[in-house]
Amino acid sequence: MSGLFGVISSTDCTQHLFYGTDYHSHLGTEVAGLAVLGDHFQHRIHSIANTQFKSRFADEMRKMVGASGIGVISDSNPQPFLVSSRIGDFALATAGLITNIDELAGELLDSGHSFAEFAFGRINPTELVAKIISCGSSIVDGIEKVFEKIEGSVSMLVLTREGIYAARDFHGRTPLVIGSSGNAWAVASESCAFPNLGYKVVKYLKPGEIIQLTSSGPRSQNKDGRACQICSFLWIYTGYPASSYEGVSVETVRERCGALLARKDTVEADLAAGVPDSGTGHAVGYAMQSRLPLRRPLVKYTSGYGRSYTPPSQETRDLVAKMKLIPIRDIIDGKKIILCEDSIVRGTQLKNLTIQKLWDNGATEVHMRAACPPLMFPCKFALSTRSLSELAARRAIRDLEGSDVSDVSSYTDPKSPDFKTMVEWIRKDLNVTSLDYLTIDEIVEAIGLPRESLCTHCWLGD
Ligand code: SF4
């Protein structure tokens, strides 16, 4: 994933740019970058794989001066990208996933363009977007061309001498929000970047909307009205608890998810807990609804580990994950535990590094509750981190059917016998006493937006 932040003001903006970008650190662990426009463009990109954004960029920021700037935290590619083109100089940062990148790159190469960068052995998607924008008659026309051509989703910030252009992807899968503070204006992927910097939410961009942000405020550059398909998973897992999208708070949705899990539960337990940190909001909602005590049988030891600390090998990563979560035997021993988690992706870390610690410390029952249905499809629009074969639900289906199957519709219907058989397979695999999931209808109820405005591809492949 990636997170974007931009700011424009009548005075120097760099302190707000620094902290505003840092508030997107949960969205990426590989690369971060900043571009600032003063007398000229200044631009820094660094790896954050082994260090936090704050410590990596603190010295750099003191050398950058300007009234407007953009920042990005990314899992995928070095950016912002600086471009000098016939429609002007600009810096570009993008968030999203382009699934037809090879086809589009081929078209550009055939027409005489070349690419300067390979990110992780591939064409840098931000450079590709920059090339398409440069083919337009203006920045706005270039962004419209990007929306026409790409499959997947791209939201972006374009820093120019005429202000910052903010564009939300065509189907609105990744959000962008505008905030104001006196003479300063900001745009962010996550609204949690605003309160401590003194910004108030002014507007959520609509799908495909392009806004030009100057120190006088935002001006819409195109007609909106496209259908929204915002990512539901933002509320379930990827978004930050203190953010809101489309005016709907992440933390309150997580509490409603937990309450819905509790509402249909018949299990008698001693306590409710969340898998730290992603299951915490769901567990709060579960405890409020069920009136079970909310307790912390597992706590996360993060001191000494940077938030973005990514050890070099898988073996070391597993070891670090194991070391971070510490069980508290006094709370676990002899207890029947409801354990809430946002979702079950692969299930291996959950089983080996979380659930097993509860058994090892004397739990008598562990009831796993997931705040969304079994994940069935990799994301084609925003997250590039899961593959079909590693999903726990797909492993179950492969084992039950004897091979991979293309039509999984009977496994996505929570009332079908196949769904129940699959859940039982995953329950045994996770080694828990019982396992239950929220349904799509319940997720939609928890988010509170019309179903047709939400992307549910993760679960239904629709
Ligand atoms: S497929 Fe899943 S993660 Fe991707 S945009 Fe849709 S809901 Fe979000």
User: Final residue of a domain: which of 228, 258, 285?
Assistant: 228
CATH of the domain at 199: 3.60.20.10
Answer yes or no: are the C-beta atoms of 108 and 88 closer than 8 Å. no
Answer yes or no: are the C-beta atoms of 386 and 374 closer than 8 Å. no
Q: How many A from CA of 204 to the centre of ligand 1?
A: 19
Minimum-distance ligand 1 atom for the alpha carbon of 454: 7
Mutate to test the pocket of ligand 1, among 232, 250, 376, 438 (most ligand atoms within 8 A of CB): 232
In this structure, are 163 and 278 located in the same domain?
no
Taking CA atoms only, the protein residue closest to ligand 1 atom 4 is: 379
Show the CA angle centred on residue 412, arms to residues 406 and 413, nearest 5°. Answer: 130
CATH of the domain at 420: 3.40.50.2020
Minimum-distance ligand 1 atom for the alpha carbon of 231: 8
Taking CA atoms only, the protein residue closest to ligand 1 atom 7 is: 231
In this structure, are 213 and 255 located in the same domain?
no
CA 230/CA 208 separation, integer angstroms: 12
Q: Which of 124, 143, 137, 110 is nearest to 2 (CA)?
A: 124
Token representation of residue 440? 């799509």
In this structure, are 51 and 81 located in the same domain?
yes
In this structure, are 292 and 190 located in the same domain?
no
180 three-state secondary structure: strand
Any domain includes 237: no
Q: How many A from CA of 183 to the centre of ligand 1?
A: 36
CA 143/CA 145 separation, integer angstroms: 5
CA 336/CA 413 separation, integer angstroms: 29
In this structure, are 223 and 291 located in the same domain?
no
Please state the separation of Cα 267 from the chain's center in Å. Answer: 32
User: Final residue of a domain: which of 177, 195, 228?
Assistant: 228
Helix (H) or strand (E) run with residue 435 in it? strand 434-437
Please state the separation of Cα 241 from the chain's center in Å. Answer: 12
State residue 116's pLDDT score. 84
pTM for the whole structure: 0.94
Q: How many domains does the chain have?
A: 2
In this structure, are 334 and 406 located in the same domain?
yes
Single-letter amino acid, residue 243: S
Minimum-distance ligand 1 atom for the alpha carbon of 378: 1
Taking CA atoms only, the protein residue closest to ligand 1 atom 1 is: 379
By the 10 Å C-beta count (0-12 exposed, 13-18 middle, 19+ buried), 158 is classed as buried
State residue 309's pLDDT score. 44
Any domain includes 101: yes
Residue 200's domain spans which residues?
A: 2-228
> How many of the other CB atoms lie within 10 Å of CB of 116?
8
Any domain includes 240: no
Minimum-distance ligand 1 atom for the alpha carbon of 153: 5
In this structure, are 211 and 325 located in the same domain?
no
Any domain includes 241: no
Any domain includes 242: no
Taking CA atoms only, the protein residue closest to ligand 1 atom 2 is: 458
Answer yes or no: are the C-beta atoms of 355 and 310 closer than 8 Å. no
Any domain includes 245: no
In this structure, are 334 and 384 located in the same domain?
yes
Q: How many A from CA of 455 to the centre of ligand 1?
A: 6
State residue 392's pLDDT score. 95
Q: How many A from CA of 51 to the centre of ligand 1?
A: 28
In this structure, are 215 and 312 located in the same domain?
no
In this structure, are 182 and 48 located in the same domain?
yes
Distances (CA, A) of 124 to 104, 140, 307, 407: 12, 21, 25, 34
Ligand 1: list residues with CB < 6 Å.
173, 231-233, 379, 381-383, 455, 457-458
- Residue ranges of the chain whose pLDDT lies below 70: 118-120, 224-225, 303-314, 384-386
Q: How many A from CA of 376 to the centre of ligand 1?
A: 11
Taking CA atoms only, the protein residue closest to ligand 1 atom 5 is: 231
Beta strands of 296-358 (E only): which ranges? 298-300, 325-327, 336-341
In this structure, are 193 and 254 located in the same domain?
no
Any domain includes 105: yes
For residue 80, the 8-state DSSP code is P
Any domain includes 234: no
Helix (H) or strand (E) run with residue 44 in it? strand 41-47
In this structure, are 26 and 146 located in the same domain?
yes
